[in-house]
Chains A and B, each alone.
Chain A
């Protein structure tokens, strides 16, 4: 594990990309052909979710399967909406993912700033600890976590899924790497000389400098929190206060599950993120690639 930590750090150092890095060869016909096939495979299940959601159970139990849209889309969406508690679920998920994104961005920026630009004792040791925590999956602590929220009577309350995921080691690392190069130390010095205390430095200098990375981290965290599955399914119930993912597991538990309604539910739960991807796709791609080179 420490080897990974090292390689991470190495890459953090060599992240600066020269003007002549990367290749400039043009892609040939085969390149496009393979990429188009790959894109089709990537998109097809999503398109087919919509197709299946616009059909009905009888049509889905015939061969060949449908390849084009039917007329039942809105009916199925409506059934999924009421059956799976989708309105509540979408609202809950927005609240949960929004809070987690906001908390992660705020706390990661503060900690990332401290690790990148401030001097304090045990700094390197603590940073190693942060990186080390990235390697430990939170799933392993699920039993005590459940005992904790049961004790606090938080089951089916949204804070049960918000608080445990409110900070992220990846976020701290991500913001640190960004601020190392994006925030000139002279700027902080100057503000200090003018008598600004740390809070003012953070507010007037760090936040503005960190804004692009904060936006990217917010989007990445939001996507992850929106799709989180394991912990919500333990902490929340379908009939209480579900997130979208929990609500989806309840769809189609009936005697003869209506597949087209299940697909309508899946579509409802995915659509908000897909819309966000259409709008912010470029930034999200950039963020993941940035995070990859640096983290």
Chain B
């Protein structure tokens, strides 16, 4: 994957050091001190070339190890202990009990199911709409930059601000959405307390925040599709829709996969929207936990019920789920590649 850099980099170590090394030693017989200084310089130079790359990447890896890798691994360790928030340093070994309790816990399964449901409800429409919007943005447009910046403003809105507004818009008695539904003859919907309606509402917030962002990512990929592909497709008599299906979509496959993975990771972590969607319900995700996600459940176990050990078990389970999704994803891509090769 680093082919370019390898092509660019070779021989620097040797060549770069050459001027200092190449001076014939015999000439320096009378200038012993000077040659020694030169020798020192060249040694320092070689040391610099050799070690500076590590110095440059060190900050990233040091911080990542301290605040990324170590916490992740230690989560696994903590999940095997009883740890209370009030005394986080007192850890009592309990083996796999946190996990077995988790598997017996209806709220865990509920949260898992909610996470998957809300994940699908938010990711699928969001990516489909983003594809469509990107397709439109890919035309030559007046004010195209305005459309792009406007599409990105929800991304600039924080989870907290966005959710608080949508809570009002989704209000049961005075919310604008119910008012609009009333105009076309529907009864008011209790978005917050309903089972499916609350999941829909939470998903709507996610969709609103991320559709434009994903559209721009698709747009970037669409713009790097060679124009002659479309021209030859048009010569073959393909309609615009067929061009979209047979030229645009296949070229976007890696990008679509990429956005799917990123959205999935986001969906598994979903936290702020359900937490604030019913502020008075705290971290329970509604009166009957109808929109409690895994992230929210983790927070509730750890920071409301003060069981850090159990929270760790939830986090570790989420990590395993991610690994599973990663493996499935890899399998799919592998299969696709194989088929492609088979077809070609």
Which of A's residues lie within 8 Å of B, judged by CB? 1-4, 6-15, 17-18, 20-28, 31-32, 34-35, 38-39, 41-43, 45-46, 48-49, 52, 60-65, 106-108, 110-111, 113-120, 123-124, 126-128, 130, 133, 135-148, 150-151, 163-167, 169, 172, 180, 185, 188-189, 192-193, 197-199, 202, 223, 226-227, 229-230, 234, 244-245, 248-249, 251-253, 257, 259, 262-263, 265-267, 269-270, 273-274, 276-277, 281-282, 284-285, 288-290, 292-293
Contact = CB atoms under 8 A, between A and B. Distances in A.
Interface of B: 1-5, 8-10, 12-13, 15-16, 19, 44-45, 48-50, 52-57, 59-61, 63-64, 67-72, 74-75, 78, 83, 88-89, 132-133, 136-141, 145-162, 164-166, 168-169, 173-176, 179, 182, 208, 212-213, 216-217, 219-228, 230, 254-255, 257-258, 261, 265, 268-269, 271-272, 275-276, 279, 295, 298-299, 302-303, 308, 311-312, 315-316, 318-319, 322-323, 326-327, 329-330, 332-334
A102 to B, nearest CB: 12
A66 to B, nearest CB: 9
Most buried by A among B154, B157, B323: B157
Which of A17, A120, A148 is packed against the most chain B CB atoms within 10 Å?
Answer: A120
B164 A180 contact: no
B279 A107 contact: no
A114 B152 contact: no
Contacts of A10: 254
B271 A139 contact: yes
Contacts of B323: 1
Centre residue among B2, B5, B182 by max chain A CB count within 10 A:
B5
Contacts of A60: 168, 174
A267 B160 CA distance: 11
A97 B141 CA distance: 35
A43 B165 CA distance: 12
Main secondary structure of the interface of A (DSSP, over half): helix
Contact of A123 (B2, B132, B221): B2
B213 A115 contact: no
B10 A289 contact: no
Contacts of B57: 110-111, 114-115, 126
B153 A46 contact: yes
